[in-house]
Structure 1
Amino acid sequence: MNTAMRLSAYGAAVVLLGAGAYGTGSAVDAPTTHLQPTAQSGPAGHGGSHSGAVAEVGAPEPGGPASNTTQPAGLASTEAGYTFVPATTTLTPGKPTELAFRITGPDSKPVTAFDVEHEKRMHLILVRSDTADFQHLHPVMSADGTWRVPVTLGGGGTYRAFADFTPSGGEATTLRTDLFAPGAFTPVAPEPNRIATAPGGYQVWLEGDLKPGQAGELTLSVARNGRPVTDLQPYLGAYGHLVALRGGDLGYLHVHPEGTPGDGATTAGPQIRFAAEVPSAGTYRLFLDFQHGSQVRTVQFTVPTTGAVAAAAPVASAPSAEAGHAHGEGGH
């Protein structure tokens, strides 16, 4: 894995924290204009073996640099003739349900031939508009081109699903669709943090800074009950996977770490390193998936590009739990 890999290396753009997502008492039928892209640029690169910059999006944060209106990939439901078509846009929260969809091609027929990328033919990211409910899923396709995956939504609200795939003979593509779960919800505003926890006594420390337009190394150190974890297990061909979601405009990036299990140079923990480059100033939510004890764990961080919280060194005592929560992939 190239050490200069950008955060845009896997999925070229997704969702996060639309303006107004931190209001209170919002219902599912509340305005969702904050989830709509204002413009769509040409396709951006995507996937571990694909290149492409993620352009700056939306309005800048107060005191931040001016932004243009170019949108990254993954904010459109149709691109290059491919369309994300959900079977339904309404899901029942709080209990197991099924998310089903098709990808139609330039001929408007369901696509049934996909290349394997990172050990799967389809990667699906499902996130609530405030990022309090996050899931990385891998649907299964039937012969007619319908993808299905069981999901359990944490509560009511507006959700966005991102389909990350490569049609055989085509380019890697990320498409989105909006979904709705009936019922009121109170959005969560995550606080900046550099220490995250997962069930089972896991703690993860984040070191490094997000520098707009500049490559910088992020190091995530995994411990369990205060002891470094040195036997991480490969998951989708890597020791860790990172999704970054930019606050204010739903911009999404998904990457894999430097190195590959079994390459003779990459250790199985405790550290997982990423070369991260974010496209603009702002606050980002980072979700790390890692596998240990034959189970995938998900931890989350909230990191501003300016005024970053000082990194903390691993210690024996467990840190306090972070604000909010994230769901890992069911049945990881």
Structure 2
Amino acid sequence: MKKVINTLLGVTVCLVTLSACNNVENKKNKDMTTHEHTDKESVYACPMHPEVTGKHGDKCPKCGMDLKAVNTENAVAYEVQLTTSPQNVEAGKPTQLTLAVKQNEKNVALDISHEMKLHLMVVSEDLSWFRHIHPEEQTDGAYAITETFPNGGKYLLFSDFKPSGGEQTLNKQEIEVQGKSSPVNNDISTKYISKVDGYTVTLINGSDFKTNKTQHLEISIEKDGKKLIEKDLQQYLGASAHIVMIGKADKEFLHIHPVTDNRFPIFAQTHIENAGVYRMWVQFKIDGKVHTADFTVDVTKGKKDENGEQTHVHQH
């Protein structure tokens, strides 16, 4: 198998703009711990290009994102190597994806996080196609899985993992798939209702998404005229559901897990840094089958908290 694609350095400190995986160790506690980032003992790095560093207020020259504070005490650099077999990826043909998380050129052991050691979210550049898959550990410590891409074009691969003894980490890679490209999806119209496998899934507060606040995600599910409650859902990846949000313009990534709220079968909290259009995928499990509902929301800029600082939901 030939090595392709660029490698990116990951950092062990998951920033809120990268990974919004909510801690659900105590699902009955709806109150989310908050904390504030400070400049003390921090450097600033790009969330998507960690090798780019600078000072507060700088922007990444590669993607234009604001540099985020990273704690230097706990920061450890990891290298994520992605290889494909065959080397030239073609649409409609199976491709083996292999990811190796390395430190000092050695594969790093990963802990189980939300029932899996490695979560891999694959999306087309226009965010019209989404897959959440879990590569399997190989004898050499790498992780591999076979995937078939539907069309030619650029695809983004977000891998989420927790190195043993380290912090939850997100890494972003890109691959080019050869073959006929699908028409570019420039549809930015909002979508709050998704019908999938006979279920009507509604993002109830979809028109009220704002930055600079703890954002609620209130989701209802209905089938055959019956409104489902949380106990109608089976646990999926250690929670009642699984949620991913990705910004259409800058590809800001949020990985979210719900907490319990008896008003909704799926309820979560997160913090969105940047305004703009986001695509969202909500996955839930019933009768052994995972269903994926999709939404499109327009996040507007909200006011900062009264103290003038942004508070963030505590996340891993």
Aligned-residue identity in percent: 30
Q: Deviations over 1:169-210 (max 9, x none)?
A: 122111121111102312212431110111x21110112221
1:247, 1:179 → 2: CA distance? Answer: 18
- CA 1:178–1:56 in 2, change beyond 3 Å: closer, same or farther? closer
Residue 286 of structure 2 corresponds to which residue in structure 1?
292
2:58, 2:218 → 1: CA distance? Answer: 28
Residue 131 of structure 1 corresponds to which residue in structure 2?
127
1:232 equivalent to 2:233? Answer: yes
Cα RMSD for the two superposed structures: 3.4
In the TM superposition, residue 300 of structure 1 has moved relative to its aligned partner by 0.7
- CA 1:276–1:126 in 2, change beyond 3 Å: closer, same or farther? same
Question: How many residues matched?
Answer: 250
In the TM superposition, residue 299 of structure 1 has moved relative to its aligned partner by 0.9
In the TM superposition, residue 119 of structure 1 has moved relative to its aligned partner by 0.9
1:149, 1:41 → 2: CA distance? Answer: 24
Give the conservation status (yes or no) of the 8 Å contact 2:280–2:296: yes
Secondary structure of 1:164's aligned partner: strand
Residue 25 of structure 1 corresponds to which residue in structure 2?
none
Residue 280 of structure 1 corresponds to which residue in structure 2?
274
Residue 176 of structure 2 corresponds to which residue in structure 1?
180
Report 1:8-157 matches (<5 A).
Answer: 43-45=13-15, 46=19, 47-49=21-23, 69-71=65-67, 80-88=76-84, 90-105=88-103, 107-111=104-108, 113-157=109-153
Residue 34 of structure 1 corresponds to which residue in structure 2?
none
TM-score (norm 2): 0.70
In the TM superposition, residue 41 of structure 1 has moved relative to its aligned partner by 9.6
Report 1:162-181 matches (<5 A).
Answer: 162-181=158-177
Residue 40 of structure 2 corresponds to which residue in structure 1?
none
Secondary structure of 1:87's aligned partner: strand
Unaligned segments of structure 2, at least 5 residues: 1-7, 24-32, 38-44, 49-56, 60-64, 70-74, 302-316
Q: AA paired with 1:304?
A: D
The structure with the greater share of residues assigned to strand is: 2
Q: Deviations over 1:247-303 (max 9, x none)?
A: 2111100111112xxxxxx55x86211123211211111110111121111111111
Residue 210 of structure 1 corresponds to which residue in structure 2?
209
Q: AA paired with 1:164?
A: D
1:224, 1:98 → 2: CA distance? Answer: 37
Q: Which runs of 4+ in 1 moved over 6 A?
A: 50-53, 55-58
Give the conservation status (yes or no) of the 8 Å contact 2:194–2:200: yes
1:225, 1:287 → 2: CA distance? Answer: 22
1:158 equivalent to 2:154? Answer: yes
Residue 193 of structure 1 corresponds to which residue in structure 2?
191
Give the conservation status (yes or no) of the 8 Å contact 1:90–1:179: no
- CA 1:42–1:258 in 2, change beyond 3 Å: closer, same or farther? closer
Q: AA paired with 1:142?
A: Q
Residue 63 of structure 1 corresponds to which residue in structure 2?
none
- CA 1:212–1:67 in 2, change beyond 3 Å: closer, same or farther? farther
Give the conservation status (yes or no) of the 8 Å contact 1:101–1:147: yes
In the TM superposition, residue 92 of structure 1 has moved relative to its aligned partner by 2.3
- CA 1:91–1:272 in 2, change beyond 3 Å: closer, same or farther? same
2:150, 2:224 → 1: CA distance? Answer: 28
1:97, 1:166 → 2: CA distance? Answer: 25
Give the conservation status (yes or no) of the 8 Å contact 1:84–1:176: no
TM-score (norm 1): 0.67
Give the conservation status (yes or no) of the 8 Å contact 1:41–1:70: no
Unaligned segments of structure 1, at least 5 residues: 1-36, 59-65, 74-78, 260-265, 308-332
